[in-house]
Every structure is written in structure tokens, then in C-alpha cells.
Amino acid sequence: MKILGIETSCDDTGIALYDSTYGLIFNEKISQSHIHNKYGGIVPEIASREHLLNLFKIINKILKNKNFFLKDITAIAYTEGPGLVGSLLVGATFGISLAYSLNIPAIPVNHMEAHLLSTMMEKKKCPIFPFLTLLVSGKHTQLIYSKKIGKYILLGETLDDSAGEAFDKISRKLKLKYPGGPEISKLSKFGIFNKYFFPRPMIYQNNLNFSFSGLKTSVINFINKFSYLSFQNKADISNAFEHAVIDVLVYKCKKAIQKKSLNRLVVAGGVSSNILLRKKLKKMLLKYNGKVYFSKPEFCTDNGAMIAYTGMLKFKLNKFKSDFNINVYPKLSIYK
């Protein structure tokens, strides 16, 4: 089976081909961060238009490969949600139309489920169901009990800002580039550890929910006290803020492990590429004789490979569209 995956949930345009025998054949992505950087965040209308241009750029590039033929594709998987409605519509229309023209199935994929399953692309390091999952990105921060493919139970989620959103907003306040997470992490390396200390919200509560709005406000108020921010000031603030966010994520994962008596943890989403988060989670899991699974850095952010791979799993379960109607769901959930 060869499944073509199309990802356009936000501002990254991705197309990939996953072969059930040989694995990932190609994985192409065009980022729009250089465009949205000047606005301090994603402009939905611009993102939609760029997706339209980028999809054709990528597919034309792929078609120039003499070893690739559209007729060899078994099915086309596309992101149906969650995400920006305009971006989703561009990818869904492209994918379903191409499937219709080739008379092959179209497979709608949940963007968050694709992130969750992305670690399974590395078969040698594949987690075994059931496992706990931390989904942490620019839009989501959730702890999930993953029972099997298609069966997920929400254990806790953010009550306001996601971890990634908090990174973006503090980055903007520090006049750094977008997206904020990588920028703050780079700057944090030059910061003095414990020079400043910011609150760790909700770690004393017995539930598994998150809240980053108060932390974000605390950091913004602290930044406002400076009449001028030197490089070292920014680095020290970045260091303190990054440690605060990561400490909360690690603590809540530890609570989930204790509550569910399950020591297998999958971490997915853009923030999962954070080096400090990876280091602290690995250290914490050692205490429970457990293991934590991460995707490769290139698969942490939005990409077509995870859509193609999830599409293949769904195809094997006969979960594909029975028609070629175009539907997207900006607030689609993985919980049933």
C-alpha cells in the first residue's frame, strides 16, 4: 500500500508518501513561519492562500521523480481537523479532488491523532498499547490514556492557554521571532538558572489539568518592570519561564503515571521537540522503570508523514470515506 498524506491544518504545508512495506518514501514540507513572523502570529487568510500555492509546488516537485507515479497511490489521507478552517479546506479539497480523479479512497485524519501515533513510524522504538500520551503544541496541552488506535480517554487538558501558546506570547513580548518555543529555548541556554523564579500553576491540585494563562501574565508583568531589556535579561527570563513550563508538564505526567499505574509515555506535538522537556521526562521515567517515546524532531511539528502513516492504519481498518464530499471540522476531537 502507498498512502499519500496531506497536512494543512495551520501554516505548514506537508505532503508525504508512506509505503506499508518500505516505510516513508518521501516527506516534503514548506513552512510559512518567515511570512507570519512579521505579524507575530498566524494570519489565517494568508495561511490559506499560501497552502494553495505550496501544495502545487510540492506535488509538482514530487511528480518530477521518475520513480513516482500517481497511479501507484492506494489512497489519499488528508487532515480534516482540528485546525484553521480555511487551511483545512484547502488541503481537504486538494486531497479529495485528487482521490476522485484517480478513483481511489480518501481518508480523513484527525490531526491530533496523527501526532499521537507519529512515534509508531519508528518501528524499532514503537510504544505498545496501552500508554499515556502528552499532546503538547501551540493549540493543545492534553494528557491522554491511549487504549488502542481510535480509543482515547482524556485525563486532563489546559483550562486556558496551551504550553505552546504561552511560549509564543512570551516570545512576542521579548521581541523574539515566531514560533516562540524554539526562540526561547535558544535564548534560555545563555540564562542564569534560578536568577528569576516564576509560578508553577496547578501542581498542588490533584487533577491532571493545566493552566498557563496565569504564568504568562506573571511573566509579562515582570517584563513590564524593565525600562530596557538587555540580552542577558531576556536570557534569564527565558530560562526561568522555560523551566516553569517544563516543570509543570513533567509533574503532571508523573501524576498521571501514578494514577494510572502505567509507565509508558508518548510525547507528541511541536513542544515535544524541546530538549529540556525530553531530558527531564527521561529522568523522571527512570524512577518508574518506564520509558518515554518521542518522535524524531522533524515529525514533532506538523508534517505530511504523520498524516500518511495514520491514513495507512485507518485504511487497514477500512476507515475511509464512502463519498467524495468535502467536510472539515476545525474543533474536531479524538475522544468518542
CATH label of the domain that carries residue 110:
3.30.420.40
Type of residue found at 95: G
Residue-wise pLDDT tens digits, 126-168: 899 999 999 998 889 999 999 999 999 999 999 999 999 999 9
Supply the pLDDT for residue 126. Answer: 85
CA nearest 162: which of 138, 134, 198, 133? 138
Are 282 and 304 in the same domain?
Answer: no
Are 238 and 310 in the same domain?
Answer: no
Domain around 285: 126-294
Are 259 and 150 in the same domain?
Answer: yes
Are 89 and 165 in the same domain?
Answer: no
Question: How many domains does one find in the chain?
Answer: 2
- Looking only at the bridges linking them, the beta strands covering 141-148 and 151-157 are antiparallel
Cβ neighbors of 41 (< 8 A, separation 6 or more) are 168, 172, 178
Which residue numbers in the chain have pLDDT < 50?
none
**Angle ∠(130,133,134) on CA atoms, nearest 5:** 170
CA dihedral 123, 126, 128, 131 (to 10 degrees): -150
CA 74 to the chain's CA centroid: 26
Assigned domain for 259 exists: yes
Assigned domain for 327 exists: no
Are 148 and 268 in the same domain?
Answer: yes
Are 72 and 168 in the same domain?
Answer: no
Are 60 and 147 in the same domain?
Answer: no
The pTM (predicted TM-score) of the whole model is: 0.93
Are 214 and 312 in the same domain?
Answer: no
Are 93 and 140 in the same domain?
Answer: no
Assigned domain for 210 exists: yes
Assigned domain for 220 exists: yes
Are 147 and 287 in the same domain?
Answer: yes
Which of left, alpha, beta for 181 (phi over 0: left; psi -120 to 50: alpha)?
alpha
Assigned domain for 201 exists: yes
Assigned domain for 171 exists: yes
Assigned domain for 321 exists: no
Assigned domain for 272 exists: yes
Residue-wise pLDDT tens digits, 192-201: 999 999 999 9
Percent of the chain with pLDDT over 70: 99
Are 164 and 256 in the same domain?
Answer: yes
Supply the pLDDT for residue 24. Answer: 94
Are 100 and 140 in the same domain?
Answer: no
